[in-house]
A and B are shown apart, each in its own frame.
Chain A
Amino acid sequence: MAHFDENAKPFSNRWLDDRLAINTVKKVLSTEYWIPKNINFLWAMGMVLAATFGLLVVSGIFLLMYYKPDINMAFDSVNYTIMTEVGYGWLWRHIHGVAASLVFLIIYIHMLTGIYYSSYKRGREMIWLSGMLLFIAFSAEAFSGYMLPWGQMSYWAGMVITNLFEAGSLELTGLVEWIRGDYVPGDAFLLRFFTLHVLLIPLVIMGLIVFHFATLRIPHVNNQDGEDIDFDEAARLYKEGNKKESKVIPFNPVFLSKDVFVLGIYFILFFYLVFYHFDFAMDPVNFDPADGLKTPPHIYPEWYFLWSYEILRPFPKDPGLIAFGIAQIAFFLLPWIDRSPNVAPAHKRGLFFWWFWILVLDMIALTVLGKLPPEGIYNTLGTISAIIFLLLGPALILITKLEKKL
């Protein structure tokens, strides 16, 4: 048996260290977890996401106390009880709605940062993959949550999205009815998506967040020059007191204090939206109760799903579904379709720089077109943008194969 200090005071540092090795844990996870110095505010997005998820959990817990997952009561429990009767119920709902929207904005920024600085390859593949799993889990969480107010958009988005599982000409009607537990979205549907939203998917997300952090620990975060830092050497310099010469800082407290600064700025924007512009996250159509016999004139998802929705829309049914499927998994493949050996910011990678900005602009174009009604010129532009998106994959293989080693 290991040596225990008999004289240590219960719960003192020594006492805990004997039992839990807390000093080692603290070193590994915080005071000697090294972060490069040459990074910018975009490296704070992970912590911004973690904080936003925290707000979603807290506001969600309070909403859960008054929400009724029943097709006859859900709409009123949200729009009447929570919004008008519950003290500060509106606050939880607006925080939940705004956070659900912003979390995707930050996820996209976080992903595009990773792409711009080539942070998904050469030892960092697992960070990218676990991040993509988180993106899928957040998407499922957002969709299932969107069903809960049981307004017109909830109902019809539920109808359209579950119909996707019919898989076009395969006509898997049985599968769709199994997912719904009914011929159309009803009580069974609402309750199972409620269960997924408040229990199963949050558990998965929490597990994935821990895993995502773990994938980061050994390869370390990338830096804005793509420099291959010798972390042992840099850590030695830092610990010897040569903090200026060292290329790294410890995660806690130095990097975390920078994170907290960015968080402060972010929360100013966040609560400005919660208090003054929450309506951007609340679709007016969803303030009509669900009606299975009346389709709203124009069905569209929330803004963060528009780009992939627009890839589905312009094509005939089967090719549209295939294109949609490709769009969903395309980003998973990024570490392998990028054939270049360089880990460097996009502006040092020649054609890749242009590829990156075409990707960004095309996704913005798809997002805008997804919101517009499917008529005339919008159809043509939508088709072009969708085809550009699909071509960006093969284009990346070609561009990165030609890329010279830096």
Chain B
Amino acid sequence: MSSRRDFMGMALGGFTALGGIAALYAMKRSWDPLPSVAAAGFTTVDLSVAKENVLNVQKWRGKPIFILKKTSDMQADDRDVVVGRARYHVSIGLCTHLGCIPAYLPAEKLFRCACHGGEFDTSGRETFGPPPSPLVIPPFKIDGNKIVLGEEGPEYLKMKEAGLTA
């Protein structure tokens, strides 16, 4: 009786598929970042010691973070982090093309990526080469003279809503 055999086939196939999907889900989850990695700490940086036109590189979740105190002749930008009267450029220091770390050239006042020649100005906006978007601004919170990376403060949320962070 073929309908009975069909039923057996479908039942077996169905349960096998279910098990297969469950196994795939387990495999997917095994490759997810571990909780300890995902919860990787917050980095706090004291901005009061920063010098103008000197790039400070910090590490946050394994990525380099650029902190550049702007000089008065550098153009102000809505992407700047303003603390008191000083303006800072804060971004994840990975080229938005393929993730190399651009170098800061203080004399020319720009970032240049050695991999494929992309350039960014002191607001992190792309000015030359293959990068498709500005340097990404990490989540931050201003705490007095300090900046906490990884926490979403009101200034960050404002920038994010205006679509300025990426």
Query: How many B residues face the partner with a CB closer than 8 A?
Result: 25
Given A159-B99, A183-B62, check contact A298 B132 (CB 8 Å): no
Is B32 located at the chain interface by the 8 A CB criterion?
yes
Does A181 lie within 8 Å of B34, measured CB to CB?
A: yes
Does B132 lie within 8 Å of A183, measured CB to CB?
A: no
Docked Cα-Cα span, A178 to B32, in Å, equals 5
Is A177 located at the chain interface by the 8 A CB criterion?
yes
Q: Find the B residue at minimum CB distance from A160.
A: B98
- Type the 1/0 row for A205-246, where 1 means its CB is closer than 8 Å to any CB of B: 000000000000000000000000000000000000000000
Minimum Cβ distance to chain A for residue B98 (Å): 5
- Type the 1/0 row for B98-139, where 1 means its CB is closer than 8 Å to any CB of A: 111100000000000011110000000000001110000000
Query: A80-88, A312-320, A395-403: which one contacts chain B?
Result: A312-320
Does B115 lie within 8 Å of A295, measured CB to CB?
A: yes
Interface centre among A156, A293, A298 (most CB of B within 10 A): A293
Minimum Cβ distance to chain B for residue A206 (Å): 22
Q: Find the A residue at minimum CB distance from B61.
A: A183
Docked Cα-Cα span, A182 to B32, in Å, equals 8
Q: Find the B residue at minimum CB distance from A294.
A: B101
Docked Cα-Cα span, A160 to B100, in Å, equals 7
Question: Which residues on B sit within 8 Å (CB–CB) of A178?
Answer: 28, 31-33
Docked Cα-Cα span, A179 to B130, in Å, equals 24
Is A168 located at the chain interface by the 8 A CB criterion?
yes
Does A293 lie within 8 Å of B59, measured CB to CB?
A: yes
Is A292 located at the chain interface by the 8 A CB criterion?
yes
Does B33 lie within 8 Å of A160, measured CB to CB?
A: no
Contact of A293 among B33, B40, B101, B115 (CB under 8 A): B101
Q: Find the A residue at minimum CB distance from B32.
A: A178
Question: Which residues on A sit within 8 Å (CB–CB) of B153?
Answer: none
Is A297 located at the chain interface by the 8 A CB criterion?
yes
Does B101 lie within 8 Å of A298, measured CB to CB?
A: no
Is B37 located at the chain interface by the 8 A CB criterion?
yes
Contact of B32 among A169, A181, A294 (CB under 8 A): A181
Docked Cα-Cα span, A182 to B100, in Å, equals 17
Q: How many A-B residue pairs have C-beta atoms within 8 angstroms? Tell me.
A: 77
Is A114 located at the chain interface by the 8 A CB criterion?
no
Question: Which residues on A sit within 8 Å (CB–CB) of B132?
Answer: 168-169, 316-318
- Type the 1/0 row for A313-348, where 1 means its CB is closer than 8 Å to any CB of B: 101111010000000000000000000000000000
Minimum Cβ distance to chain A for residue B97 (Å): 6
Contact of A183 among B63, B97, B98, B130 (CB under 8 A): B63
Contact of A313 among B59, B61, B64, B116 (CB under 8 A): B116
Question: Which residues on B sit within 8 Å (CB–CB) of A60?
Answer: none
Question: Which residues on B sit within 8 Å (CB–CB) of A47?
Answer: none
Q: Find the B residue at minimum CB distance from A180.
A: B33
Does A182 lie within 8 Å of B114, measured CB to CB?
A: no
Q: Find the A residue at minimum CB distance from B58.
A: A293
- Type the 1/0 row for A180-200, where 1 means its CB is closer than 8 Å to any CB of B: 111110101000100000000
Does B33 lie within 8 Å of A183, measured CB to CB?
A: yes
Minimum Cβ distance to chain A for residue B30 (Å): 9
Does B33 lie within 8 Å of A188, measured CB to CB?
A: yes
Is A163 located at the chain interface by the 8 A CB criterion?
yes
Is A375 located at the chain interface by the 8 A CB criterion?
yes
Does B98 lie within 8 Å of A163, measured CB to CB?
A: yes
Does A298 lie within 8 Å of B114, measured CB to CB?
A: yes
Docked Cα-Cα span, A244 to B57, in Å, equals 76
Minimum Cβ distance to chain B for residue A34 (Å): 42
Question: Which residues on A sit within 8 Å (CB–CB) of B28?
Answer: 178
Does A295 lie within 8 Å of B100, measured CB to CB?
A: yes
- Type the 1/0 row for B24-58, where 1 means its CB is closer than 8 Å to any CB of A: 00001001111001001000000000000000010
Does A177 lie within 8 Å of B115, measured CB to CB?
A: no
Q: Find the B residue at minimum CB distance from A161.
A: B98
Does B99 lie within 8 Å of A182, measured CB to CB?
A: no
Q: Find the A residue at minimum CB distance from B100.
A: A295
Contact of A317 among B32, B115, B117, B130 (CB under 8 A): B130
Docked Cα-Cα span, A292 to B99, in Å, equals 11
Docked Cα-Cα span, A92 to B100, in Å, equals 32
Minimum Cβ distance to chain A for residue B22 (Å): 18
Does A299 lie within 8 Å of B100, measured CB to CB?
A: yes
Question: Which residues on A sit within 8 Å (CB–CB) of B32?
Answer: 178, 181
Is A374 located at the chain interface by the 8 A CB criterion?
yes
Given A156-B100, A292-B64, A374-B116, check contact A182 B33 (CB 8 Å): yes
Q: Would you list 28 pairs from A and B whose C-beta atoms are within 8 A, ordered by A residue?
A: A159-B100, A160-B98, A164-B98, A169-B132, A178-B28, A182-B33, A183-B40, A184-B61, A186-B37, A188-B33, A188-B34, A292-B59, A292-B62, A293-B57, A293-B64, A293-B101, A295-B100, A295-B101, A296-B114, A297-B114, A298-B114, A298-B115, A299-B114, A316-B130, A317-B97, A317-B130, A320-B130, A374-B116
Given contacts A160-B99, A178-B32, A375-B117, could you give 9 more A-B pairs where the C-beta distance is less than 8 Å? A160-B115, A169-B132, A178-B33, A180-B33, A181-B34, A183-B61, A295-B115, A317-B131, A374-B116
Could you tell me which A residues sit within 8 Å of B by CB distance? 156, 159-160, 163-164, 168-169, 177-184, 186, 188, 192, 292-299, 313, 315-318, 320, 374-375, 379
The 6 nearest A-B residue pairs measured at CB: A184-B62, A295-B101, A163-B99, A295-B100, A317-B132, A297-B114
